[in-house]
Structure 1
Amino acid sequence: MQIAGLGRDGLGAREQRALDYFHGRVWPLLQTSEEPCAPPLPVAIQHRVVLLATCVLADSHRLLQDGKDHDGSLNTKRLECLAAIRSEVDGCCAQGNNSTGLPHVLLFAVLLLHLHDGFMELTGHVASTSSHHKGVLAILGQLGGLEPVLRTSQESLQMLLSEFVSADLTSALLQGTAPSYPPAAWHVIDQGAVWWGRDPLGRYSLAFVLREMSAMAFYHDSLVNGQSSLCMDEVRSFEEAFRPVYAPVATPMPDSPSEPAAGLYQCLSERDIEAVHAFALMRTFQHTALIFLYRAICGLPTLHPLVQQHVRSCLDCIMEIERSSKLLHCVIFPLCVAGAHAQSPDSQQEVLSMTNMIYDNMRFASVKAVSQVLTSIWTTQSSLDLTWTELFAQLSPHVLVL
């Protein structure tokens, strides 16, 4: 699949091939929507620093896909991309307030490298996920903040930022720290292009769940730092906010409760299926949030019935998703959290089989890293005595889990 017009812009054959691969293979993996927004290829064509970042991401995924660095130059390209970013930063500093367009270009490039290092390249001496994270925060600060950029940017940048802030939140939850942005930011994020699929009738959004998860992360951080004390009214408020939601479908369901899930989907309209998918993703995150609430905030042990109730419900929700659905591209965080608390050998095997299947489809190194951490947790005899943060301490800070 060649992208129209790229060959006339002086791109080399390798760059053309990398952009084609990014467009057809990598970009769709970053979103659950069946009709994802257009990738930032025009920006890549116009600005070499974005082109290099796009090619690095594409070529790194191709290496994970087939195990071959076709021209042996992936590391060279990465170094060239980092040098180009440093050059652009120097240019921005030299131009000061006159560097109107450069920060937006840099933002695209650093966001792509952040995803590359967090999803594809997890080797400690190479990965710089945290550095790219700080770089994105700095660029957004230079541009006036997250919300002004979201309100004025094109869809592909909005989508990448929704991915960035989501990964920032999930990392904060796993590490037991505060996110970089307040809960109110999710209202603005939800108004633009996002990585999750939407309820076609606009009844509910994953952004509502992520907003409350952000509020809960800030509350947990205040408890850890001694700024607040545990309040049961707050706990009940979070319990209510994360009450699992279901899509009310318009199409009548078949009477037979034993009919397979594939058969049930055949009875639904396209709009109903879209809603069912959107609500299924929301429920996985709601159950995950409740596991965090009971474990990290309330301090309940792994085997407590309240914890295990939502571990099982979260896993059931994930396992009921059609294997061909793009929802599975973005349930790694719920699968990681629920899987780490799964106790029965059957549940653990179920989780391992699911992570292996998702890895086979996505070929993201981050999925393999989650699988390895879960296996380590399950084989550690003292895992039942670990706190929330101790449980996930084995996960490399370079890994993005979403």
Structure 2
Amino acid sequence: MTDIISTPRAAPYQSDDFAARLRKRYAAERRFKMYGIAAIAIALGMLAVLLASIVSQGYTAFAQHDLSLEIYFDPAEIDPQGTRDEATLSGANYAALARQSLQAAFPEVESRTERRRLNAIVSNGAGFELRQMVMDNPDLIGTRQTVRLALASDYDQLLKGNIDRDVPEANRKVSDQQIQWIDKLVSNGNIVNGWNWRLFMNGDSRDPELAGLKAGIVGSLLTLAVTLGLAIPIGISAAVYLEEFAPKNKLTDLIEVNINNLAAVPSIVFGLLGLAVFLNAFNMPRSAPVVGGIVLALMTLPTIIIASRAALKAVPPSIREAALGVGASPLQVVTHHVLPLAMPGIMTGIIIGMAHALGETAPLLMIGMIAFIVDTPGGFGDAATVLPVQIFMWADSPERGFVERTSAAIMVLLAFLIAMNAIAVVLRKRFERRW
């Protein structure tokens, strides 16, 4: 019997054609990986540029130059009758005390025009600061005290290097003579630089050196408190009902479609809703945190509901079946087993919703929270503003001092967002369970 000898054929996966296709596939995978890395690098680079721009313009706002002067609290000016009456003390001309002290440091300045230029160095709010000192401690009357008063914004910016001394005098707001006065005050130790406590302790002001974020911070906290109090319980309850208890019919399908549509509605539409319903129909207070909180709660509800439903749906059916098998009621299954396991995902939705609410401006503009607020709101019904709106208002101001304060306010807002996210992440980790 003759053996048939045949030449073995190469396996398909060992052929040259297969090797070429394999090389192409690996090359495509490498290119796709490079595209992904490049996209992430570009995104991080743009974020770094944005943050660097904000920080470079805003970090100087956390320090401010003050004018250290020896003030004589003249009884003849403050309380001529010596009655210590609050109305008399409040109505005294404290700005004159600051001007007299400043002019005493420059006795050579005699003309009216030069004195007016010299007085412009101290802030317009110096008189209010002196008045507050006397109102807090009337024993200051008749004494000499070295106090720190706010330096006018233009001269603070000059010392920070934001106003170029080499620019021709006609092209800058600070004259050569005023620069000489500032240099003399610096050499005499009358100008000190320190932490800008006014940025966090004052309300808004027309003068940049006096403008602060206190009213905006308190207004944001009050508004978010209303938003949290309404959006979280309502959103989670709606998600639990729709996912666990609601029958599947046309009505629930219609509700689900509308919830998904509401998540894509522009935020200004919710502001128009608040203006038409809560202000015009229900006559609720304008510019109040309670109205702003309700509007933001309506805006964030779809996000919380959708995220909560997805988290509930991700819980394995075996959890429900096991709980029902040992005799738990449907409500006990949800409250004792499903909801705790879904809480990390629910917390993620709440984080997204609250971060969105904290940074919103358009709906709050529609309900009047763009008002100029100096006093800190004392309750949910008082007129208030919020940080994003205050940033919007400061960004529209032409003064150089407001440019750095706008960036500083953005940094404070970002710090609030990071703090909120950190708290939410901690809570999510605490509720997280493995199965």
TM-score by length of 1: 0.23
Greater Cα radius of gyration, structure 1 or 2: 2
